[in-house]
C-alpha cells in the first residue's frame, strides 16, 4: 500500500515536471488565450458539463473565438468564428487534416485504418478516392434512387395500413426514422432489409439489431482515458476496452458472413429476383476486389461498409427527427411545406428524387434545422500535423482542433434571434462567403463525403411523409426540444412521438403503392 501511494506521488511529480518543462519551451511562442484556470494534470476537464458544445461556446464567449484548452494531457484548440474556422479549414486544411488517436478509433476504427479515423496520408486519400468514385458519385447515387424510393413507400404503406383517414395514430418517430435510415443503408450496401416488413432473414436481422444497439451503448461513451492516459496505464479502462474489442469482433464477423454470402450468390447467379434487381455497393466493391485482390482485401471492404453504416445512420435519422420536431412545433411552416409540394408536384403522384430540386422551401427547413441542431456540433476532432499560424497565433504541432459549429451557427452576432426556427432566413444562404457561417457537414479535405446522399435521404423521407400525411403533436404541449447528452453528437433527448393520419386526398395513391 505504502509503496503504491508513494509511486502515485512520484507519478504526479513527474507529470507536473513534464508539463512545466513543456510550458517553458512554449512560453516564447505566441499562443492563443488559454481560457479559465487550468489545473495540473486534469487541465480544463473540471469544466466539463454536458453538452460540451454549449460549455465550450460559453467559454469562447468570454475568452474569444480562438482559445487553447487542456483536456488532461491533450492540447485542444477551440474555434468559434467563421473567419477563424475558415483559416483552419482552408489555409491550414492539410495541416489540420489529421485525426487524434482516440481509443474508439483504435478499437472500432480498426486501429485507425478506416476513413473517419485514418491519419491524413496515402491510405486515407485512397479510401476517400475510391468511395468518392464508387459510392458517393452522382452516378452511383442515381443508381440507388429506386432502392430509397421503395423503402419510403414501404414505410408509407405501413403507416397507412388499414386506415380510412379518419383517426390519428401515434407513431414512435425516433425508431421509425432510425429503422428507415438503416434500411436505406443496408439495402444500398447489400440489398438486405433488417427492419419492418419483408425482412430478409429473421435470425440475421435479430443479430444485426443487437449489434446496432450495442454500438449505441458502447460507442457513445466519451472516454476520459483519452485525456488522462495515466488512468489507462493503471488499468481503469480495461472493462470498456474489452467491450469495444468484443463489439468490433461481432461487427466484423457479421460483415464477413455478408461478404461470403454475396460471393456465393455472385458465382451461382441463383439469387431471388426480388433482392438483386440493382447492383449493391457490396457488388461494386467485390468486383473491384476481383480486379485488384491485393488492395481490396475483405478487411478494407468491411471497413468501408462499417464506415458508411456508422457515419450515415445516426446523422441522417437524427436530422429527420429534429426537423419533424420543429415542424410539429411550427404548424404554419408545416402547412407551407405541404403547400409547396401540392403546388409543385400535385396530389396525383408521389414525390420522387428528381423532384427534390424543385422544393427549395423544404430544403430551407432542413438547412434551418441543421443550423440549430447540427448532428456533429463540434465536427469530428481534427489534429495538426505541424506547427502553424491561426489568427496570428502559433498553434503547436499535435494540437486537437474542435470547430464549434454549433456556436457559430447559433451566434446572435451572425444570426438574428438564432434560437428561433425561421426557415425563410435560409433563402439565398449557403455557399460562397456564407460557407463558414453554416457548415453542418464540415468543410475541406475532411468534410463529410456523404452530404449529397444524406440530404437526399432526409429530403425524400420528409417530403413524402409531408405529402401523404397530416401531422400533429400528440398533445397540446409543445414537443420538448431538450438535447441529449450521450457522446459527441447532438441528438434529441426524449424520443419524438407524433400523431398522423393519411390526407384524405392521398388515400387513393397510398392504396396503390
Ligand X SMILES: *[C@@H]1O[C@H](CO)[C@@H](O)[C@H](O)[C@H]1NC(C)=O
**Residues near ligand X, by CB under 6 A:** 145, 154, 157, 197-198, 274, 349, 352-354, 360, 363-364, 367, 426, 429-431
Residue nearer to ligand X on the CB measure, 109 or 442: 442
Q: What are the start-end ranges of the H helices in 64-121?
A: 82-86, 103-107
> Cβ 179 to ligand X, closest distance in Å?
13
DSSP string, 175-223: HHHHHHHHHHHHHHHHS---SSSS-S-HHHHHHHHHHHHHHHHHHTPPP
Phi and psi torsions of 222, nearest 5°: -90, 130
Helix then strand then coil, % of the chain, to nearest 5: 55, 10, 35
> Cβ 178 to ligand HEM, closest distance in Å?
13
Residue nearer to ligand HEM on the CB measure, 382 or 503: 382
CA dist., res. 65 & res. 390, Å (int): 11
Q: Does the protein bind ligand HEM through residue 450 (CB under 6 A)? A: yes
Query: Interaction with ligand HEM in 313-332: which residues (CB under 6 A)?
Result: 315-316, 319
* DSSP assigned state of 480: P
315 binds, among ligand HEM, ligand X, none (CB under 5 to 8 A by kind): ligand HEM
Structural contact between residues 90 and 444, judged by C-beta atoms closer than 8 angstroms: yes
Query: Interaction with ligand HEM in 338-377: which residues (CB under 6 A)?
Result: 375-376
User: Degrees (nearest 5) of the Cα angle 200, 201, 204?
Assistant: 125
> Cβ 276 to ligand X, closest distance in Å?
13
Binding mask 243-282 toward ligand HEM (x if CB under 6 A, else -) reads ----------------------------------------
Residue nearer to ligand HEM on the CB measure, 134 or 163: 134
Cβ neighbours of 187 (radius 10 Å): 23
Among 43, 72, 225, 449, which residue interacts with ligand HEM (rule: CB under 6 A)? 449
> Cβ 363 to ligand X, closest distance in Å?
4
> Cβ 116 to ligand HEM, closest distance in Å?
4
Quote the distance between the C-alpha of residue 103 and its chain's center: 18
Number of alpha carbons in the 13 Å side-chain half-sphere of residue 499: 13
Residue nearer to ligand HEM on the CB measure, 396 or 447: 447
Residue nearer to ligand X on the CB measure, 110 or 361: 361
Which grid cell is 266? 455472385
Reduced to 3 states (helix: H, G, I; strand: E, B; else coil), residue 252 is helix
289 binds, among ligand X, ligand HEM, none (CB under 5 to 8 A by kind): none
Query: Interaction with ligand HEM in 136-175: which residues (CB under 6 A)?
Result: none
CA dist., res. 326 & res. 420, Å (int): 10
Residue nearer to ligand X on the CB measure, 240 or 465: 465
> Cβ 87 to ligand HEM, closest distance in Å?
14
First to last CA, the chain: 72
CA dist., res. 487 & res. 219, Å (int): 8
> Cβ 27 to ligand HEM, closest distance in Å?
31
Which grid cell is 39? 489545473
Binding residues vs ligand HEM (CB under 6 A)? 115-116, 128, 307-308, 311-312, 315-316, 319, 375-376, 379-380, 440-442, 446-450, 453-454, 458
Amino acid at each position: 500500500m505504502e509503496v503504491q501511494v508513494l509511486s502515485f506521488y512520484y507519478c504526479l511529480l513527474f507529470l507536473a515536471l513534464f508539463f512545466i518543462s513543456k510550458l517553458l519551451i512554449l512560453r516564447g511562442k505566441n499562443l492563443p488565450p488559454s481560457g479559465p484556470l487550468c489545473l495540473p494534470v486534469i487541465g480544463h476537464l473540471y469544466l466539463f458539463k454536458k453538452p460540451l458544445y454549449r460549455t465550450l461556446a460559453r467559454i469562447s464567449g468570454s475568452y474569444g473565438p480562438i482559445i487553447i484548452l487542456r483536456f488532461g494531457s491533450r492540447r485542444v484548440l477551440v474555434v468559434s468564428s467563421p473567419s477563424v474556422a475558415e483559416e483552419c479549414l482552408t489555409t491550414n486544411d492539410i495541416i489540420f487534416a489529421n485525426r487524434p488517436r482516440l481509443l474508439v478509433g483504435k478499437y472500432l476504427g480498426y486501429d485507425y485504418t478506416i476513413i473517419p479515423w485514418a491519419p491524413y496520408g496515402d491510405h486515407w486519400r485512397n479510401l476517400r478516392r475510391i468511395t468518392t468514385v464508387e459510392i458517393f458519385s452522382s452516378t452511383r447515387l442515381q443508381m440507388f434512387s429506386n432502392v430509397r424510393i421503395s423503402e419510403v413507400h414501404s414505410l408509407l404503406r405501413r403507416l397507412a395500413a388499414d386506415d380510412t383517414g379518419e383517426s390519428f395514430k401515434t407513431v414512435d418517430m425516433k425508431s421509425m426514422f432510425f429503422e428507415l435510415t438503416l434500411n436505406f443503408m443496408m439495402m444500398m450496401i447489400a440489398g438486405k432489409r433488417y427492419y419492418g416488413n419483408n425482412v430478409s432473414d429473421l435470425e440475421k436481422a435479430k443479430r444485426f439489431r443487437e449489434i446496432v444497439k450495442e454500438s449505441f451503448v458502447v460507442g457513445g461513451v466519451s472516454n476520459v482515458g483519452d485525456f488522462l492516459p495515466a488512468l489507462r496505464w493503471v488499468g481503469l479502462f480495461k472493462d470498456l476496452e474489452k467491450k469495444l474489442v468484443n463489439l468490433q469482433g461481432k461487427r466484423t464477423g457479421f460483415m464477413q458472413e455478408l461478404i461470403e454470402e454475396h460471393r456465393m450468390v455472385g458465382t451461382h447467379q441463383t439469387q431471388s429476383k426480388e433482392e438483386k434487381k440493382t447492383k449493391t455497393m457490396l457488388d461494386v466493391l467485390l468486383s473491384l476486389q476481383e480486379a485488384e485482390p491485393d488492395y481490396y482485401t475483405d478487411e478494407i471492404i468491411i471497413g468501408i461498409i462499417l464506415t458508411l453504416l456508422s457515419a450515415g445512420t445516426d446523422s441522417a435519422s437524427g436530422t429527420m427527427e429534429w426537423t419533424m420536431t420543429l415542424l410539429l412545433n411550427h404548424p404554419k411552416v408545416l402547412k407551407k411545406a405541404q403547400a409547396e409540394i401540392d403546388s409543385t408536384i400535385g396530389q396525383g403522384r408521389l414525390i420522387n428524387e428528381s423532384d427534390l430540386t424543385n422544393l427549395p422551401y423544404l430544403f430551407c427547413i432542413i438547412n434551418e434545422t441543421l443550423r440549430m441542431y447540427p448532428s456533429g456540433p463540434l465536427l469530428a476532432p481534427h489534429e495538426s500535423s505541424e506547427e502553424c499560424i491561426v489568427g496570428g497565433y502559433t498553434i503547436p504541432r499535435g494540437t486537437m482542433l474542435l470547430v464549434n459549429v454549433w456556436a457559430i451557427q447559433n451566434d446572435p452576432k451572425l444570426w438574428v434571434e438564432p434560437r428561433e426556427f425561421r426557415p425563410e432566413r435560409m433563402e439565398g444562404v449557403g455557399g460562397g462567403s456564407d460557407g463558414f457561417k453554416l457548415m453542418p457537414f464540415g468543410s475541406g479535405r475532411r468534410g463529410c463525403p456523404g452530404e449529397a446522399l444524406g440530404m437526399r435521404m432526409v429530403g425524400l423521407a420528409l417530403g413524402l411523409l409531408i405529402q401523404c400525411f397530416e401531422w400533429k403533436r400528440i398533445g397540446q404541449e409543445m414537443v420538448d426540444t431538450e438535447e441529449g447528452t450521450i457522446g459527441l453528437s447532438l441528438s434529441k433527448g426524449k424520443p419524438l412521438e407524433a400523431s398522423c393520419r393519411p390526407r384524405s386526398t392521398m388515400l387513393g395513391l397510398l392504396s396503390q403503392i
